[in-house]
Amino acid sequence: MRPGIVKMLHRFKVRTGPDGILLFSRETGLNLLIDDAKVAQELWSTAPRHVSIALANACDLDCPHCFAPKNPAMLSMGRLIDWLDELDANGCIGVGFGGGEPTLYKNLLHICNHVTQNTGMAATFTTHGHHIDGRLAATLKGNVHFIRVSMDGIGATYEKIRNRSFSALLQKLEVIRECAPFGINYLVNCLTLPEIDAAIALAAEVGASEFLLLPQLPTNKGSGIDNSTMQALRRWVHSYAGPIRIAVSEVGRDSMPIADPLPRETELRAYAHIDASGTIKRSSYDKHGIPIASGGVMEALRMLESMWEVAK
């Protein structure tokens, strides 16, 4: 093999599974799937492809659609680093930090730095954005590969939902775009769907590379997206021809035109969530999971798989 090709391959994280060999570059976001490679099952990567981790439940907003637990909980950096190393060694390609609000977690920079310097995974986090100033952005630059910013509607709609200034958010997006590639997380309900085209245009204008649709789920404070709005969203997605890539959350993808290059890598092979109390679940919406004990995250994952196999 030519030296140049060998050098290029060293920049990719390799993941094996039922769909073949996946090469992932966290620097560019490029995924290359060698789908004609037949990998023996005993050689498949055993960690989920992506894992989201709630660093803490604390948040300084009180959004009516928020489903995050309100009890005080926070992960210790020592336990978290052990889990990150374990996930990396078992083929995970990306971890996404959230909460709560991850910028309130005092060790966010150290955790992102650890992922970048000591693993082959991509480090991302989801934020409301209002705490990211020039100083924080400068320290995060080079230590985070992608940032997701929540934007529920635009203008007065956003301000009604978030109780924060929309113009202030736009100023923060200018700072964030200098720190790392970013995308917009867009809550979809009857208030925000009429503004979706304007929101897409704005997202493209400020430099977002992805627009993630999050159909609202019911919480103790409010109902989820209604059927007519969900149907209208599906029609909109089917006819979309806009300027940036759109994606949709797992819970809202039914009847959506989804491009899935890894159709055999499903459920816990594709994704898992660790909450701020250290419990691993199928998703952040699940109420039940397995606490991660001294055996580590992979042992808890195997127990979670067994639990859901029994429940089927």
pLDDT per residue over 136-190, tens digit each? 999 999 999 999 999 999 999 999 999 999 999 999 999 999 999 999 999 999 9
pLDDT of residue 4: 46
CA distance linking residue 231 with residue 236, whole number of Å: 9
For residue 66, the enclosing domain spans 46-311
What is the CA 46 to chain-centroid distance, rounded?
A: 19
* Total residues found in the chain within this entry: 312
Tens digit of each residue's pLDDT (9 = 90 or more) over 41-64: 999 999 999 999 999 999 999 888
* Confidence at residue 5, expressed as pLDDT on a 0 to 100 scale: 42
Q: Are residues 138 and 211 in the same domain?
A: yes
Domain of residue 253, CATH code: 3.20.20.70
Say whether both 36 and 94 belong to one domain: no
Q: What angle do CA 181, 94, 254 make, to 5 degrees?
A: 90
2 lies in the same domain as 132: no
> Are 195 and 265 found together in one domain?
yes
Amino acid 6: pLDDT = 41
**With contact defined as beta carbons under 8 Å apart, do 247 and 26 qualify?**
no
Residues 10 and 121 in one domain: no
Q: Model's pTM, two decimal places?
A: 0.93
Burial of 105 (0-12, 13-18, 19+ CB in 10 A): buried
Q: Point out the domain boundary residue: 27, 44, 61.
A: 44
CA 235 to CA 223: how far, in whole Å?
22
- What pLDDT, on the 0 to 100 scale, is given for residue 13? 95
Whether residues 32 and 57 share a domain: the answer is no
Same domain, 14 and 124: no
Within this chain, do residues 247 and 281 fall inside the same structural domain, yes or no?
Answer: yes
Same domain, 52 and 32: no
* 56 within 8 A of 276, measured Cβ to Cβ: yes
Instruction: Let me know whether 150 and 17 are in one domain.
Output: no
54 shares a domain with 27: no
Q: How far apart are the C-alpha atoms of 157 and 159, rounded to whole Å?
A: 5
What pLDDT, on a 0 to 100 scale, did the predictor assign at position 9?
52
Residues in the chain predicted with pLDDT less than 70, given as ranges, are 1-10, 251-252, 255, 312
pLDDT at position 176 is 97
Q: Which residues contact 104 (CB under 8 A, 6 or more apart)?
A: 56, 58, 59, 60, 131
Cα separation, 9 vs 32, in Å, equals 11
CB 93 within 8 A of CB 45: no
Domain count along the chain: 2
Give me the pLDDT at residue 245, please: 94
Shared domain check, 146 and 15: no
DSSP state of 194: G
Q: In whole angstroms, give the CA distance from residue 4 to residue 8.
A: 6
